[in-house]
Amino acid sequence: MANVARAFVTTEVISVSDLAAAVRSNTSGAVVTFSGDVRDNDHGREVSSLEYEAHPTAQNLLEKVASEIAARHEVLSVAVAHRHGPIPIGESALVAAVAAKHRKAAFDACSDLVDEVKAQIPIWKHQVFADGTDEWVNCA
């Protein structure tokens, strides 16, 4: 049974290398990381600023999703962090790291982890466009 090294929501900068270090061990032969970064564009429009809002249950649910991924895949350790509040263009909003003995399990689990976070965690993205208009993403 794999362990969950880290699972947290934060308003601070998330370090990909910190999460990679948290999952790495002498028994792991593969570490896969993912960084979901804030883009300066969305469906062809220039994004000038972006902010995420997290529901109070987001922390607990993130821990639950990380545990599910750790149990479901042949991996050794899992870490995941989601940032909220205003995030500058180019910085990480979501970071995941998975260590496994072999690369395929690490890639698969990391991809699954990111998919589950996007589907299950009550976090919302608000973006302001260069023309001054704004939107809550996924809620036309």
Partner 1 sequence: MAVTVRFYAAARKAAGISEIQLEPASAMQLLDRAVEAHPNLAQVLPQCSFLLNEVALHDLSTQVLDGATLDVLPPFAGG
| Burial zone of 122 (CB within 10 Å; 0-12 exposed, 13-18 middle, 19+ buried) | exposed
Q: Which stretch binds partner 1 (CB under 8 A): 22-30, 69-77, 99-107, 114-122?
A: 114-122
Reduce the DSSP state of residue 43 to 3 states and report it: coil
Q: Does 69 bind partner 1 (CB under 8 A)?
A: no
> Do the beta carbons of residue 118 and residue 126 sit within 8 Å?
no
Alpha-carbon distance 5 to 26, whole Å?
A: 15
> Least distance in Å: CB of 67 to partner 1?
18
Which amino acid is it at 47?
V
Cα 68 → chain centroid: 15
- x/- track of binding to partner 1 for residues 17-46 (CB under 8 A): -------------------x----------
CA distances from 3 to 57, 97, 99 (A): 21, 12, 10
Count of residues engaged in binding partner 1, rule: CB under 8 A: 24
Q: Which stretch binds partner 1 (CB under 8 A): 13-21, 25-33, 71-79, 111-119?
A: 111-119
Q: Which of 29, 85, 86, 122 binds partner 1 (CB under 8 A)?
A: 122
Binding stretches for partner 1 (CB under 8 A): 36, 52-53, 55-57, 82, 93-94, 114, 117-126, 136-139
